[in-house]
Amino acid sequence: MKQKVLFICIHNSARSQMAEAFLNEICGDYFEAHSAGLDPGSLNPLAVEAMREIGTDISHNQTQSVFDVFKSGKLFAYVITVCDESSAQRCPIFPGVTKRLHWSFPDPAGFTGTREERLAGTRKIRDQIRARIEMWCDGICAVEVGAPI
């Protein structure tokens, strides 16, 4: 049975959406990923574009509220916040019995500069999130099958 993982951040528009997509893609045999935000907005178009560049389409994803996920009664083995350190105090806490992790990534919504500079920053965050997911999956999956980490 797959373990459920919830990625949460402020708006559920970029970082948590990318993390959800990567976990389902990379380690979907072990996990079922979801994402939510404290103050959900709309998908960040630069995150959608950055993901599309590597063959992952998140353009049809919907943002959702952490409160709505909590009200649904779903239980999660892991809740991973992906807020950056400067907004960590606003990053939502999901109640219940779960393993809580915090992975700090800058918010692409806060990037300034030209469209291309903001897209380049979003690509960098995308790649950092993918690397973190790959590393986490390698460690978790190694434990699951009894191999040394």
**One-character DSSP codes across 83-111:** --GGGTTTS----SS-EEEE-----GGG-
Please tell me the pTM assigned to this model: 0.90
Domains by residue range for the chain, with CATH: 3-144 (3.40.50.2300)
Among candidate residues 27, 91, 137, 141, the one labeled active-site is: 91
137 tagged catalytic: no
CA angle 17, 96, 143 (to 5 degrees): 70
Among candidate residues 9, 27, 137, 141, the one labeled active-site is: 9
Compute mean pLDDT per 10 residues along the chain, 149 residues long, and list them. 92 96 95 93 96 98 92 90 70 68 92 97 98 92 52
Phi, psi of 62 (to 5 degrees): -110, 145
Residue 147: what pLDDT?
Answer: 43
Contact assessment for residue 66 and residue 38, using Cβ atoms and an 8 Å cutoff: yes
Q: How far apart are the C-alpha atoms of 81 and 57, rounded to whole Å?
A: 22
Residue 34: what pLDDT?
Answer: 96
Smallest CA-to-CA distance from 30 within 148, 149, 142, 147 is with 142
Residue 109: what pLDDT?
Answer: 92
